[in-house]
Amino acid sequence: MKTLEKTGKTVDEAIDAALAELGRSREEVTIEIITMPSKGFLGIGAKNAVVRVSAEDSVTAYAIEFLTTIFKKFELDVEIRAIEGEEFITLDLIGKDLGILIGRRGETLDALQYLTNLTVARHFEDRNKFILDVEGYRAKREETLERLAKKLAERVKESGKNISLEPMSPYERRIIHTILQSDDQVRTFSEGEEPYRKVVIAKKK
């Protein structure tokens, strides 16, 4: 179980701060109000609210704790917000000047994502997959991959030769496969071993 104590001008503000760090909803935690906020007299003696929020260990909480430990070592102030999806859980990294976490073509972000999934898989049987995102980078990257996939597909149609893309994460490879699956002139497949597995675009015979 993980327990946090947070302060805020209101009880709700303190609770929300704890939930954001834990990556949980109110239904998933136990909340204890330690101190109620008070305005004091003429602003003197004012007190913030203090709450204690406890949550049972979970796959998502473990992933958030793993990343939080890394960020603290590098003295990065990062808020991690978990967003549940049908197939993936997105961990949205929020803060100032977090471009360093993206890296060249998302290489740093992909490396953090790979380490997070690897670490979680070693401690839990749950096969949930995590996607890490910073400042909407994934959406921008998806647009870039869509343009690239369509451009290379046209080149394959003209030359008849296979084209291999750069190594990508499973998430990005899936984007390429999805974009081109409706093209009746080309096919896609992956080859190689993680983390160097890549997509190949080939002309259909």
* Average pLDDT of the residues in 67-84: 90
The answer, yes or no, to whether residue 203 has pLDDT greater than 90, is yes
Domains located in the chain, CATH noted = 2-55 (no CATH), 59-135 (3.30.300.20), 139-203 (3.30.1370.50)
By mean pLDDT, which of 14-23, 151-160, 192-201 is the weakest? Answer: 14-23
Average pLDDT, the chain: 88
Q: Identify the pLDDT of residue 127.
A: 62
What are the pLDDT digits (tens) for 120-147? 888 877 666 899 999 889 999 999 999 9
* Average pLDDT of the residues in 10-21: 90
Q: Identify the pLDDT of residue 151.
A: 96
For 45, the token pair is 């003696």
- The β-bridge partners of 81 are 92
Q: Number of C-alpha atoms within 13 angstroms, CB side, residue 81? A: 11
Which band of pLDDT confidence, cut at 50, 70 and 90, is reported for residue 42? low
pTM tops 0.75, yes or no: no
Closest CA to 136 of 177, 102, 172, 100: 102
Please state, in angstroms and rounded to a whole number, the distance separating the CA atoms of residues 154 and 156: 5
The answer, yes or no, to whether residue 52 has pLDDT greater than 90, is yes
Q: Identify the pLDDT of residue 128.
A: 66
